[in-house]
Amino acid sequence: MVRIGAFLVGLFFAGWLLVSFLMGAAAYISEPPAPTVEHEFHLAPKHVDFSFDGPFGKYDKAQLQRGFQVFKEVCSACHSLKFVAFRDLEALGYNEAEVKAIAKQWAIKTPDVDPKTGEMTGRDPVPADHFPKPFANNVAAAAANNNAIPPDLSLMTKARHHGSAYVYSLLTGYREQPAELLKKFPDAKTPEGLHYNPYFANLNLAMAPPLTAEGQVTYGEGQPKPTVDQMAKDVAAFLTWTAEPKLENRRTAGLATIIFLLIATGLAYMSYQNIWADKKKKA
């Protein structure tokens, strides 16, 4: 009796879910949702090639150093890298002395406490420190950025779909609102203080175009010309490294694991054939 009751209760809920689904599908077909400006004018990230693409891709250390330079001279004024320490830069090809110099010359001091007075103070960062935040707190960050808090960029390329291409597209995607958009959605004009960018989720963001002109950052001798496109690509590569510093090791370990499993599978099959060959003949 209990089983019959449980079956009937389950059948009722299953039927109710089916009816709800059918009603929702019918409503969607008869009254489809109104198109939104974001749905029609938001663009997928541009296609861009990086050296670390694909299962055998590797980081280009020269590009990562250029990307770090762009971050240091342009992005670090507003954005933080709270999960990256200065000493991690050694993986980009900087030696210990260069890392110490970068940390000491960093424009933002590391918060500290004066052991004599107990008061908050600032000191020059050391290699063991993480990159200091550009603002003391979120209130100060919002006050300096049109009430928008600049996000931490440590894991940005993992937090966005096609993260590397997304960062590149966002940095190179600023433009005037298209006339078609304003004609179709006259109330969707970009508010004053915001900037139109079709690669951003809601099309308008508080960050002004950070890369505005060729030569904004000076690269060393023998490096590519620092065009806006090149700088955007370089900093996107650097932010991919901050999010996945062990990318190359992970791929190497994965490839070694696949090779091991293939060899082990072959050996296991040959062992099976050898052990059971006589048994099958006798059977």
CATH number, domain of 185, equals: 1.10.760.10
- Name residue 196's beta-bridge partners: 204
Q: Is 78 annotated as a binding residue?
A: yes
Contacts of 76 by beta carbon, 8 Å cutoff, 6+ apart: 107, 108, 131, 134
Q: What pLDDT is recorded for position 25?
A: 73
Report the C-alpha gap between 202 and 189 in whole angstroms. Answer: 12
Vertex 11, ends 10 and 12: CA angle to 5°? 90
Residue 281 pLDDT: 58
Give the model's pLDDT for residue 112.
67
39 is in an annotated binding site: no
Asked if residue 232 is part of any domain, the answer here is yes
Q: Is 195 annotated as a binding residue?
A: no
Q: Residue 51: what pLDDT?
A: 95
Range of the domain at 235: 38-84+130-245
Number of domains into which the chain is organized: 1
Q: How many CB atoms lie within 10 A of CB 48?
A: 18
Kindly state whether residue 55 falls inside one of the protein's structural domains: yes
Q: What residue ranges of the chain have pLDDT lower than 70?
A: 1-2, 28, 31-35, 112-116, 118-120, 277-283
- Residue 114 falls within a domain, yes or no? no
**pLDDT (0 to 100) of residue 19:** 83
The span from the CA of 201 to the CA of 276, in Å, is: 61
Residue 162 annotated as binding? Answer: no
Which among 98, 99, 93, 156 has a CA at the least distance from the CA of 129?
99
As beta bridge partners, residue 85 has 130
2 within domain boundaries: no
Query: Of 51, 49, 47, whose CA–CA distance to 251 is shortest?
Result: 51
**Is residue 252 situated within a structural domain?**
no
Cα–Cα dist 100/102, whole Å: 6
* 251 within some domain: no
Q: Domain for residue 19, yes or no?
A: no
Has residue 124 been placed in a domain? no
pTM listed for this prediction:
0.83
